[in-house]
């Protein structure tokens, strides 16, 4: 999972040729830490079907603000080109729930 900053977010997400999954997190956020292995497992499962990124709201507060992130962790699944969100998941969750939300979002991105 590649970490994004204020300067790399737009290029990475909008430039992605596949849907982008972005986990917004914070350094003191316990639920965010719980989600690290969950998101890593899903990234391994999905392989090249989606690009995975993380954003620290402490390091990139304007990115979080522009994406209406008010609670951590927040996972946003962006369509190809990053112009719209296909799905949003707020708070810690299980791998099966995350997989379901992401799979539903990825299904919307198919032509």
Residue ranges, the chain, pLDDT below 70: 111
Note if the pTM is more than 0.75: yes
Q: Can you give the pLDDT at residue 111?
A: 63
Q: In what order do the strands lie in the sheet with 2-4?
A: 2-4, 51-56, 20-25, 74-78, 85-90
Enumerate residues 6+ apart whose C-beta is below 8 A from 90: 71, 73, 74, 75
Closest CA to 50 of 83, 89, 31, 76: 76
pLDDT digits (tens, 9 = 90+) for 48-58: 999 999 999 99
pLDDT at 5: 96
pLDDT score for 17 = 94
């Amino acid at each position: 999972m590649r970490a994004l900053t204020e300067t790399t977010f737009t290029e990475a997400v909008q430039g992605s040729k596949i849907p982008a999954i972005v986990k917004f997190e914070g350094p003191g956020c316990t639920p965010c830490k719980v989600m690290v292995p969950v998101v890593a497992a899903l990234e391994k499962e999905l392989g090249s079907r989606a690009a995975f990124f993380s954003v620290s709201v402490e390091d990139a507060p304007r990115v979080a603000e522009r994406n209406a992130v008010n609670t951590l962790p927040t996972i946003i699944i962006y369509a190809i080109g990053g112009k719209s969100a296909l799905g949003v998941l707020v708070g810690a969750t299980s791998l099966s729930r995350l997989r379901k939300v992401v799979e539903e979002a990825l299904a919307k991105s198919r032509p």
